[in-house]
Copies of this chain bind each other. A is one copy, B any other.
Amino acid sequence: MTSPARRRSAGDRRAQLVAIGLELLPTTPVQELTIDEVARRAGISRSLLFHYFASKRDYYTAVTRAAADVLREHLAPRPGLPAGEQAAGMLERYVGWVETYRDAHLSFVRGAAAGDPWVAEVYEETREQLVDMALAALELPDDARRRQLLRAWFAFTEDLVSSWVREPTMERGELVDLLRGLLDRLLES
């Protein structure tokens, strides 16, 4: 019935499938993304998807990891800026990110973090990397306690910025200052 798909190189096909997943992520909770739908959009048979990804889980983690890569790259310190301003820049970019991709971001954070434990693992992993980046930007030593506080601060920030975008109860600058002040206070001890 359906005409066979155009033949592609393995790398191309894989990339295409991940790209489709990324495209669907903002509108669909990860776990509601069916293999059928993805295959249909790619114009290939389900079987082919399983040729590239061992399981649905495998595919999900690949997509989630790709999403995490985009975020991480966006937040990464900009070389050339003085070290002292790196942290401020990251915070600024994070707020901007959530402002721009609110739904997509929530889909990633909430959708990915739960559901499948494997996918959650990718999320945790990304978070640890963000903690690393932040500690480096702040030029602070890396001990267990600081990491904990920083992770919790991320949770605070994630939550506050998301709800602030939905209902701005303060000036943007005030929000950033509040987050920055909180971070300084938590880490000074």
A residues touching B (Cβ–Cβ < 8 Å)? Answer: 29, 31, 110-117, 120, 144-145, 148-149, 151-160, 163-164, 167, 169-170, 182, 185-186
Contacts and interface: CB of A to CB of B under 8 A. Distances in A.
B163 A156 contact: no
Contact of A145 (B149, B154, B169): B169
Contact of A156 (B110, B111, B144, B152): B152
Q: How many copies does the complex hold?
A: 2
Q: Which 3 A-B pairs have the closest CB atoms?
A: A114-B114, A152-B160, A155-B159
A37 B175 CA distance: 47
Contacts of A160: 148-149, 151-152, 155
Q: Interface of chain A, helix or strand or loop or mixed?
A: helix
A122 to B, nearest CB: 13
Contacts of A29: 114-117
B167 A31 contact: no
A159 B111 CA distance: 17
Given A31-B31, A114-B113, A115-B114, A151 B169 contact: no
Contacts of A113: 110, 113-114
Given A115-B115, A152-B160, 9 more contacts: A110-B113, A144-B167, A145-B169, A148-B160, A148-B167, A148-B169, A152-B156, A152-B157, A154-B159
